[in-house]
Structure 1
Amino acid sequence: MTPGQQQTQPTGLEIAVQWGQLPPEHLRAALKALEPQLAREHAYRMACLKAEMQSEKDRRAHVLRMTGLVAGLAMAVGMLAAAVVLGVNGQPWLAAALSGPSVIVLVKIFVLGHVGADDVKQLMKGSNSQMPAPPQPAPEPTPGSPPFV
């Protein structure tokens, strides 16, 4: 054996091959003795595979959760920034639509990953009560009167 190699314990199959050179009575005794060892090795390999699969499943769930958090944060910041810009530029209706309950519901969808029916009802109720009344159109000028400035 070279210094870089590790000494490993022979597996049950390797031992069975060595015992195969002996008479059948000895082989039968060897196989009876090796059966529990092979069962333990199989159970160990299966447990390792199950742990690897669970680890990969947990990693994927973590990535999905973090992606939802980042997307929810980006959406909330983007909608609020757009609402401020629209509000400053004289678009109060669009600003109210972007900064109202819709931000909360959309962020909840991304962060929690689900939305309930009551959230949709609150969104509709909040958007209707938050909006200011639409501006009334200017009255039509009567013929012969000076134009409105």
Structure 2
Amino acid sequence: MSTEENSGALPLPQDDPVVSAGLDIAMRWGAALGGPEKLKIAFEALEPQLKREHQLRLKQLDMQREATARAEENAREAAERMVRLAQQKRQHALRMTGLWLGAGVSFAMLVAGVYVARDMWWLSLFLWGPSLLAMAKLYTLRRSDPGDMQAVTLGMRSAANAAQQAPPPPVP
């Protein structure tokens, strides 16, 4: 009697080479171990080892996922640091440009005030007065208060009043 006659399972097609090879291997294992009972005992002994290997693989996969997540987090933090650094560099360049521009405008106003002081002293007061402070504050500190503009307006009025009261310059 063959194995197929003893089993209650449906007969498998014999023309499939994969199924035939699988049955052949199973019959050899069963014959080598001395029957189905010993094969069952061997599989039960193999099961704890397979469970341990499976748990080990799961732990390794978890560790790989955690390492990948840490690497992605580190890469994201590094990218954010680079963006912050680039922004800080741009802000620094902008502030330094404003500082230099404010110094240049202030120096130009001082030079212009000295230059026109001989002929139009009232204009030099305007260039040296509150407008110089307001321009320097605007360019260097990047802020302008309403009091600054009021002082500039008051300075312009006083310079205009002084110009109206001043005698005309001598004709050469």
What percent identity do the matched residue pairs reach? 26
User: TM-score, normalization: structure 2?
Assistant: 0.58
SS at structure 2 position matched to 1:53? helix
Residue 87 of structure 2 is aligned to residue 57 of structure 1:
yes
SS at structure 2 position matched to 1:134? helix
| Residue 98 of structure 2: aligned partner | 68
| Residue 150 of structure 2: aligned partner | 121
Which string of whole-angstrom CA distances, capped at 9 and with x for unpartnered residues, describes residues 57-103 of structure 1? 11111111111111111111111101111112x12232222122111
Q: CA deviation at 1:36?
A: 0.4
Alpha-carbon separation, structure 1, partners of 2:167 and 2:147:
36
Residue 130 of structure 2 is aligned to residue 101 of structure 1:
yes
CA contact (8 A) 2:122 2:159 kept: no
More helix by share: 2
Cα-Cα RMSD: 2.4
| Residue 47 of structure 1: aligned partner | 77
Q: 2:139 aligns with which of 83, 88, 110?
A: 110
Number of equivalent positions: 114
CA contact (8 A) 1:108 1:115 kept: yes
| Residue 82 of structure 1: aligned partner | 112
Q: CA deviation at 1:125?
A: 2.1
Report the structure number with the largest CA radius of gyration.
2
Q: 1:32 aligns with which of 62, 86, 93?
A: 62
Structure 2: runs of 5 or more not aligned = 1-53
User: TM-score, normalization: structure 1?
Assistant: 0.66
- Runs of 4+ more than 3 Å apart: 25-30, 135-138
Which string of whole-angstrom CA distances, capped at 9 and with x for unpartnered residues, describes residues 30-75 of structure 1? 4223110001000110111011111111111111111111111111
Structure 1: runs of 5 or more not aligned = 1-24, 139-149
SS at structure 1 position matched to 2:144? coil
CA contact (8 A) 1:83 1:98 kept: yes
Alpha-carbon separation, structure 1, partners of 2:114 and 2:166:
24
